[in-house]
Amino acid sequence: MFVDEARIHVAAGGGGNGCLAFRREKFIPRGGPSGGDGGNGGSVYLESTAHLNTLLKFRFNKEFRARRAGHGEGSNRHGKDSEDMVIQVPLGTVVYDGATGDRLFDFDTEGKRFLVAKGGRGGRGNARFATSTNQAPRRADPGTPGEERDLRLELKLLADVGLVGFPNVGKSTLISRLSAARPRIADYPFTTLEPCLGVVPVDEEDSFVMADIPGLIAGAHEGKGLGDRFLKHVERTRLLLHLIDVAESTGRDPIEDYSVIMTELESFSPAVAGKPTLMVASRVDAAGDSNRLFALREFCRERKQRLYEISSVTGEGLEELKRAAWARLQEIPRQSLPEDPASET
């Protein structure tokens, strides 16, 4: 099951109390204060890993508490420090403060670690307060409590190329032909109910990651169809492949299809709509004698934009499209990921 949003509560461990004690041994009168300090409580960290691709584990386990530290003891014995808690999250997770909605951290690379709740500090034992004028202090500090906070986790897939288009335009079939991904493929709308990632090999050393996004319809940015739930997953892609179905059986206008999808992307985020895009005519094997493909060719020619004609069933044009996508990616620099106002509401 693909889960891309979760709310959790984290609590760091409290510090141990300082000890109030005096040294009492035979033949050693007035041994003095010997109370040790309390240990430091464990902190809570989030750490990104490529071995997870969903927030499913947070669906039922929503509370994470680090252990409290040990208290100080007599004979100047220091309380045991508590171990830190490290919670692994999928690569691409964005962390928000659950109370204020502030964006706290973005795990855009593997192995990053972020402190979300600091452990409490151990209290001082009475041995710490001994002075020349106060040789028998009867003061010991309690440990401070650890931080607690509510967090909202949002997963945004990290992919180089994103596939966008109406339902049933051949996105799932395309990614299954170019990569080892095996999404559900069927002849009905919204076959893809969750994003799917696939690694597309270019040669023995080079490859790129492609994301199949569930199909969009008019009003998607307002929640129609699958809505904008998955639109956020194309925000991180560097290149979009806009698939337009030219099969004779669809009966739709390919130019209108293009306009509808671009309107939805623009309404969701102008930055997404402005991403580099390759136009792809899908299912050309089923175009027949209709003028859909011809109209799309003319449309792209007027815009001085190349049209890639493919058939994922026969394999026509797939190698050319793959090479073109790879070449285009080489021209697009990897930049720091921008803030997305759409997800901060």
Mean confidence (pLDDT) of the chain: 85
Which has the closest alpha carbon to 149: 110, 213, 101? 101
| Residues 136 and 219 placed together within one structural domain of the fold | no
- Answer yes or no: do 258 and 211 share one domain: yes
Average pLDDT estimate for 232-259: 86
Q: Which structural domain range is residue 49 located in? A: 1-155
Could you tell me if 209 and 260 lie in one domain?
yes
Do 122 and 176 lie in one domain? The reply is no
Q: Write out pLDDT tens, residues 24-49.
A: 887 777 788 999 999 999 999 999 99
What digits encode the pLDDT tens for the residues 125-160?
Answer: 999 999 989 988 999 999 999 999 999 999 887 788
Residue 334 makes CB contacts below 8 A (sequence gap 6+) with 238
Proportion of the chain above pLDDT 90, given as a percent:
51
Is the pLDDT at 342 greater than 50? The verdict is: no
Residue 328 has pLDDT above 50, yes or no: yes
Note whether 155 and 93 are within 8 A (CB): yes
Which carries the bigger pLDDT value, residue 53 or residue 61? 61
pTM (two decimals): 0.71
CA distance linking residue 302 with residue 324, whole number of Å = 20
- Which CATH number goes with the domain that contains 80? 2.70.210.12
Extract the tokens encoding 243. Answer: 């698939």
Give the separation between CA 241 and CA 86, rounded to whole angstroms: 38
71-80, 205-214, 220-229, 297-306: lowest mean pLDDT where? 220-229
Residue 336's pLDDT is 45
- The tokens of 74 are what? 């007599």
Instruction: Residue 194: count other Cβ atoms within 10 Å of its Cβ.
Output: 18
Q: DSSP assignment, residue 28?
A: B
Distance from C-alpha of 118 to C-alpha of 140, rounded to nearest angstrom: 22
User: Structural domain tally of the chain?
Assistant: 2
Give pLDDT tens digits for 98-134.
Answer: 999 999 999 988 899 999 999 999 999 999 999 989 9
- Owner of token pair 């759409």: 342
Interval 161-169 mean pLDDT? 87
What is the domain-level CATH number for residue 290?
3.40.50.300
Are residues 65 and 17 located together in one domain of the fold? Answer: yes
**Residues 141 and 225 occupy one common structural domain:** no
Q: DSSP label at 199?
A: E
Q: 121, 155, 189 — which closes off a domain?
A: 155
Q: Where are the beta strands (DSSP E) in the chain?
A: 5-11, 44-49, 63-65, 85-90, 93-97, 103-106, 113-117, 148-155, 161-164, 196-201, 207-212, 239-245, 277-282, 307-309
Tell me, yes or no, whether 101 and 227 share the same domain. Answer: no
